[in-house]
Homo-oligomer: A and B are copies of this chain.
């Protein structure tokens, strides 16, 4: 199974051993755990959620907040976004233990109209802030057709699709933006000014069908570069640049701390300035509008030097305020694309979200996920440190 919408098209078993990845610094796309980690126990989703929730409760999160985090991370694993699932638990635990995130904090609205809300996340858990903001946007969209909520004082909020799904469940379009730690150099620049700054939108089709896009505005994730490095093959030009701002095909140079990711498109010749411009749009919605920390001022990824103060923006739109039949039209277009003749018969044409949906079905059929051995060890260590009942699965 490929992974069209998160940048990985191959199994990445041994990649998960990488310490940068373990620490969450490398974003890894989807993979079928049931296929690639046969030697670890099968963990039912409810058990994974229980474990995550109890770990977070052990460091002070109220049960409701901890459960939301369990849902968030397990939903990522279920959809194949393993980088954003259990893999991030230790980071969240560390964020709380270092005092850089307040797991008890509840977001508050600082200013609002019938259609807008400015929110202070009060340095709470990203998922709590995200749920609150999208809930606020949905309520407004139901009343006046569109709602927008922008939050400062937030933290990493996991997979964007969680919040957009909440809108789709109500028959609405959901869209959101977050800024992140600097990795991306603007076209022509040597310095990182933006994070992977994703653009995410979900929209309802007919009979439960959905359009679900969630893409970073960088050319690729670090994970793709890491895979090339392990294979000993050069990367294409346009993925990463060295400290002097020159595109590099050398994976060791690409992964040096002084190097940067390049924007979607790559070089200026290949329209990388578009990816840079789109990353900037995300920053405007996420950081500039909300009054959060923005651009190069955001702390380095995983650093515990200070709070993150990320900015996020959530938009819900009610299609019923526009032309009747939105769901029919969207399904018609999605199905026409799915049925279109592929260049390679082995690779069917898909719509954003299709591969994640297939992955979720496979996980449900298997009865859970199999984490790689390294992840299981991390969970064992967390259970010992936090005095939480160990993660239990079936052979």
Enumerate chain B residues within 8 angstroms of A118, measured Cβ to Cβ: 321-323
Choose from B213, B317, B321, B341 the contact partner of A281 (Cβ within 8 Å): B213
Whether B323 lies near A290 (C-beta < 8 A) is yes
Whether A340 lies near B193 (C-beta < 8 A) is yes
A-B contact pairs, 17 of them (CB 8 A): A114-B114, A116-B144, A144-B144, A148-B317, A150-B323, A188-B348, A189-B342, A193-B340, A215-B274, A215-B277, A219-B265, A220-B270, A241-B343, A245-B342, A245-B343, A265-B275, A290-B322
Contact code string A157-176 (vs B, CB < 8 Å = 1, else 0):
00000000000000001000
Whether A188 lies near B113 (C-beta < 8 A) is no
Chain multiplicity (copies): 2
A336 within 8 A of B: yes
Footprint of B on A, CB under 8 Å?
4-5, 7, 9, 111-116, 118, 144-146, 148, 150, 152, 173, 186-191, 193, 199, 201, 203, 211, 213, 215-217, 219-220, 236, 238-239, 241, 244-246, 264-266, 268-271, 273-275, 277-278, 280-281, 283-284, 287-291, 294-296, 317-319, 321-326, 329-330, 333, 336-337, 340-344, 347-352
Whether B150 lies near A148 (C-beta < 8 A) is no
Residue of B nearest to A241 (CB): B343
Enumerate chain B residues within 8 angstroms of A112, measured Cβ to Cβ: 321
Whether A146 lies near B115 (C-beta < 8 A) is yes
Whether A271 lies near B220 (C-beta < 8 A) is yes
